[in-house]
Structure 1
Amino acid sequence: MSQLYERHVSQAGVTAAQFTLLAAIHRRPGVTMAELADAMVMERTTLVRALKPLQRDRLVNAIQQDASTRAVALSLSDAGKKTLGEASLRWREAQQEFEDKFGRERAGELRKSLLELTSME
């Protein structure tokens, strides 16, 4: 299933994981790396590595909040917003292909089960 989404989203120049990060930052402009790591259930060092290509490609801005703290606020650049828009279209195409092949009802049940699984503590 991940290959299906990767195939579609890669047409926008990002991986599925990068798309998820762009979407999360877009939902919460100014989110700190620590907050994003918590929200994504990722180790901070893993998040830093995942963000490097997005920063290198100037899709994500990282601005130190103030000199007295190491906290960095994240936001999407204009290019990041454009890429997110394109990737969102591709993601929806992947969703449609998945539903066409798997069946709408079964796809919905699977998404519900996966959401429940990721919400477990």
Structure 2
Amino acid sequence: MQDRGGIYLHMQHYVAMSVRIDPAAESFACTCARVRKAARRITQIYDRHIQPAGLTVTQFGILANLTRLDGIAIGALAERMIMDPTALTRGLKPLERQGFVRLEPDPNDRRARRILLTAAGRAALSEARPGWARAQAEVRAALGADATAALHQSIDFTLERLA
């Protein structure tokens, strides 16, 4: 930490010793940190509700995407989910071990692999859906319907603008 006129800097986070700093001030707000904290909190809620079905919310999301995109290439699904293909591949490994997905070479490009949802994967997704619905309801109850809708609109706007 370095002294900068009574304000100490540490990893781009400002802490005033005797000066009260408005945390909402633009120069002190880190959008990334705030979004990541909110995402972690929401993920904890969803994981708590989905875990009894043996899935994480990330795995649930992969399986749910595959119900509409069965046979999609790993790279294409990663792009669609805004994930790194390597991270998606790591996320697929436990799903493959559990028999929820099957990977096979793409017939049009032998270098690429396609992801197929199995009957066991569909069953796991069905089992997890009530937990997902409870998580949705918990978040909506905590934020309120209007704030939840506003959050969805803000996220959609952000994703569109940052594409």
TM value normalised by structure 2: 0.68
Residue 56 in 1 paired to residue 56 in 2? no
SS of residue in 2 equivalent to 1:71: strand
- 1:30 has 2:80 as partner: no
Letter in 2 for 1:79: A
The ranges of structure 1 where at least 4 consecutive aligned residues each deviate by more than 3 angstroms after the TM superposition are none
State how many pairs are aligned: 121
Contact 1:8 1:91 (C-alpha < 8 Å) held by counterparts = yes
Distance in 2 separating the partners of 1:10 and 1:58: 17
CA distance in 2, matches of 1:109, 1:7: 24
In 1, Cα distance between equivalents of 2:78 and 2:47: 22
Structure 2 alignment gaps of length 5 or more: 1-41
Q: Which has the higher contact order (CA 8 A, sep 6+)?
A: 1
In the TM superposition, residue 17 of structure 1 has moved relative to its aligned partner by 0.8
Q: Unaligned 5+ residue runs, structure 1?
A: none
Which residue number corresponds to residue 99 of structure 1? 140
Asked if residue 70 in structure 1 is aligned to residue 111 in structure 2, the reply is: yes
The structure with the greater share of residues assigned to strand is 2
Cα RMSD (Å): 1.7
SS at match of 2:110: coil
Identity of aligned residues (%): 34
Which range moves more in the overlay, 99-108 or 66-75? Answer: 66-75
CA 1:69/1:107 → structure 2, altered by over 3 Å: closer, same or farther? same
* Structure with larger Rg: 2
Q: Alignment partner of 1:70: what SS? A: strand
**Could you tell me how far apart the structure 2 residues matched to 1:113 and 1:88 are?**
25
Say which of 55, 70, 81 aligns to 2:122. Answer: 81
